[in-house]
């Protein structure tokens, strides 16, 4: 293959485009250019090497009612999108089968094993080695009972290559001056990290892509065919030997045009960000488990993220979700703007929570990389290395059978 069109300029598409161009393939990236539309814009920035267990498990199903939005939790469904949510949910329940969940865990473990390494290599190669902060992350609890339960659960959980230990009293004390309700206990993970800024990382990768000769075309792909030909909504029809579909939660519609089922749902998450805050630069991403809020300090501000709302990727935000998030921040007493930057975006989620990465069996000119759900920032660098190896017909660094989209028929 001498040239390729990459559809989608989120973190996955951007990282793949960079690695493809670097591998000597003339690469054109096509994206509408609205940064805030992508899930890659407003996420928590966490490099979650520890998340080797897919979310499709019976224990998560059993926990779901207690986490529902109606009861003050983060989990909700857009009933107006029931036509998309219900078929997805039925496949999700099938993926909870213990055998399927074990296969998912094996697949994610392989992909996540060297995810910090892949990020370091990507940061180095885009000449931004300080993009990655390898300082782990914290899960914290504000009550003794929550801490006891959370710690017990942490002991039972498979965290892949990541390890954890209890926070020392000095480490816990760092939260005292920045919160009215600081944690009573917490654990610090090693082998995980964060990026300095999610959009900053995406910008750096795209700039490096252009610097090595890559081309970015602003536009939305309307049609793709099984020869890899593409037509934009504008009528333009850029040409290349192959195409990579990396359009996040919007990839399903493009795959359908190729006769391939890709049952993606928009697993919508919410964030708010404040320029005013007291969060120290070196305090890692912290998950307040009982409050369903994650705080991440970025160069662009302090961000709090929450919510899982299944529905259409394009639906407008639900103001109640931002209000819930802001209430939680208030309860914890973290200094934050009273008019934060509110954002909503769709995690691209397949029913088994395992991404789709590979070459389409029925149309070998079509490669795909989407469905990274909660871990697209985490896995974009490793995914890009895999896509480049497929494109140059080199053996992939891991066994890719579990990632084939054909598993959905």
Ligand X SMILES: Cc1cc2nc3c(=O)[nH]c(=O)nc-3n(C[C@H](O)[C@H](O)[C@H](O)COP(=O)(O)OP(=O)(O)OC[C@H]3O[C@@H](n4cnc5c(N)ncnc54)[C@H](O)[C@@H]3O)c2cc1C
**Residue closest to 381 by CA, chosen among 391, 369, 394:** 369
Closest distance of CB 271 from ligand X, Å: 5
Going by their DSSP bridges, the two strands 265-274 and 301-311 should be labelled as antiparallel
Distances (CA, A) of 241 to 26, 27, 219, 237, 292: 10, 10, 19, 13, 46
CB of 294 to ligand X, least distance (A): 7
* DSSP SS3 for 281: coil
**For 65, what's the count of Cα atoms within 13 Å in the CB-facing half-sphere?**
1
Beta strand 193-195 pairing with 132-133? antiparallel
Q: Report in angstroms how near the CB of residue 169 gets to ligand X at its nearest.
A: 27
Report the distance separating Cα 323 and Cα 387, nearest Å.
40
Nearer to ligand X among residue 12 and residue 387 (C-beta): 12
d(CA 380, CA 40): 10
Pick between residue 32 and residue 184 the one whose CB is nearest to ligand X: 32
Q: Where are the beta strands (DSSP E) in 32-120?
A: 46-47, 75-77
Between CA 12 and CA 234 the distance in angstroms is 24
Minimum CB distance to ligand X, residue 115 (Å):
9
User: 150 or 248, CB closer to ligand X?
Assistant: 248
Residue with Cβ nearer ligand X (100 or 108): 108
Q: 135 vs 184, which CB is nearer to ligand X?
A: 135
Identity of the residue, 143 or 400, whose beta carbon is nearer to ligand X in the bound complex: 400
Cα–Cα distance between 195 and 112 in angstroms, integer? 16
Give the footprint of ligand X on this chain (CB under 6 A).
7-13, 30-32, 37-40, 42-46, 48, 220-221, 246-250, 269, 271, 305, 345, 347-348, 370, 372-378
Tally the C-alpha atoms within 13 A of residue 281's C-alpha that lie toward its C-beta.
5
Looking at beta carbons only, is 8 or 301 nearer to ligand X?
Answer: 8
Choice between 115 and 168, CB closer to ligand X: 115
Bridge partners for 172 per DSSP: none
Question: For residues 188 and 377, which CB has a smaller minimum distance to ligand X in the complex?
Answer: 377
Determine phi and psi for 148, rounding to 5 degrees.
-60, -45
**Beta strand 286-288 pairing with 137-141:** parallel
Check if the beta carbon of residue 32 is closer than 8 Å to that of residue 218. yes
Please name the residue that has the structure tokens 């591998």.
23
CB of 163 to ligand X, least distance (A): 19
Min separation Cβ 158 and ligand X, Å: 18
Measured CA to CA, the distance from residue 68 to residue 76 in angstroms comes to: 6
């Amino acid at each position: 293959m001498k040239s390729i069109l990459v559809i989608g300029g989120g973190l996955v598409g951007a990282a793949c485009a960079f690695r493809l161009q670097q591998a000597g393939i003339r690469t054109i990236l096509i994206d509408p250019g609205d940064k805030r539309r992508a899930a890659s814009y407003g996420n928590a920035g966490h490099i979650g090497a520890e998340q080797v267990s897919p979310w499709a498990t019976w224990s998560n199903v059993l926990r779901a009612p207690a986490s529902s939005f109606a009861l003050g939790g983060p989990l909700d469904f857009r009933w107006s999108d029931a036509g998309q949510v219900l078929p997805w949910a039925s496949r999700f329940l099938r993926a909870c089968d213990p055998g399927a969940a074990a296969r998912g865990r094996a697949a994610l473990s392989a992909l996540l094993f060297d995810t910090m390494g892949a990020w370091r290599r990507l940061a180095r190669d885009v000449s931004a080695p300080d993009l990655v902060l390898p300082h782990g992350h914290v899960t914290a609890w504000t009550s003794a009972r929550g801490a006891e339960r959370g710690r017990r659960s942490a002991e039972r959980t498979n965290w892949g290559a990541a390890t954890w230990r209890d926070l020392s009293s000095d480490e816990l004390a760092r939260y005292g001056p920045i919160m009215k309700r600081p944690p009573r206990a917490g654990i610090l993970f090693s082998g995980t990290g964060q990026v300095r800024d999610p959009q900053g990382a995406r910008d750096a990768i795209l700039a490096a892509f252009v610097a090595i000769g890559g081309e970015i075309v602003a536009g939305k792909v309307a049609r793709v065919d099984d020869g890899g030909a593409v037509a934009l909504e504008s009528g333009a029809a850029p040409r290349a030997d192959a195409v990579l579909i990396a359009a996040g939660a919007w990839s399903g519609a493009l795959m359908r045009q190729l006769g391939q089922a890709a049952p993606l749902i928009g697993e919508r998450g919410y964030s708010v960000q404040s320029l005013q805050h007291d969060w120290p630069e070196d305090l890692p991403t912290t998950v307040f488990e009982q409050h369903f809020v994650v705080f991440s300090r970025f160069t662009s501000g302090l961000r709090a993220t929450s919510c899982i709302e299944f529905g259409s990727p394009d639906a407008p935000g639900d103001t109640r979700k931002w209000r819930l998030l802001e209430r939680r921040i208030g309860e914890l007493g973290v200094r934050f703007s009273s008019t934060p930057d509110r954002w909503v975006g769709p995690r691209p989620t397949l029913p088994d929570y395992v991404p789709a990465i590979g070459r389409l069996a029925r149309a070998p000119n079509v490669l795909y990389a989407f469905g990274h759900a909660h871990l697209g920032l985490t896995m974009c660098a490793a995914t890009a290395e895999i896509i480049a190896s497929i494109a140059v017909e080199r053996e992939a660094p891991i066994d890719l059978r579990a990632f084939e989209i054909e598993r959905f028929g």
